[in-house]
Homo-oligomer: A and B are copies of this chain.
Amino acid sequence: MHFSKTTEYAIRVLAYLHRHDETSHSVNVLHQELDLPYKYLTKLMTELVKKGLVNASRGREGGLSLARDAHEIYLCDILEAIGESMEHERCILGFEKCDASNPCALHDQWVKPKELIETMLTTTSLASLLQNRETKL
């Protein structure tokens, strides 16, 4: 009942890019600042670039920055970019088809937690993450 490491990393990196958006940042900086595995990060960032969440510029003075306004990047967008998008849609007991009319044994109990998770994912933008409070990345 948790995000994948990859998802954790992606959220943290993107939030960092927003928090320090005066300039772009190299993978090496992100690696050091967030204490994430360097090579794994390069792979992840390449992916986020392909998915259009991040802009990359190569070469000296290059680096990474958000491709869109932080108000327009929601957690669900990040999950989607990583392919974990529909995870919270999935039946909690693993059935292919599971809905109110043909529910699994846990369906009813899962409805409300699932709703709140969905709300969190669809209403939390990178911009909304960093307001009012000092938080860890």
Contacts and interface: CB of A to CB of B under 8 A. Distances in A.
A117 B1 contact: yes
Given A105-B15, A113-B113, A124-B109, A8 B135 contact: no
Contact of A95 (B5, B129, B136): B136
Interface residues of A, number: 38
Contact of A137 (B105, B136, B137): B105
Contacts of A87: 1-2
B2 A135 contact: no
Given A12-B105, A110-B120, A130-B105, A136 B2 contact: no
Given A106-B124, A109-B124, 9 more contacts: A2-B90, A3-B93, A11-B93, A95-B136, A104-B136, A105-B130, A105-B136, A106-B129, A116-B116
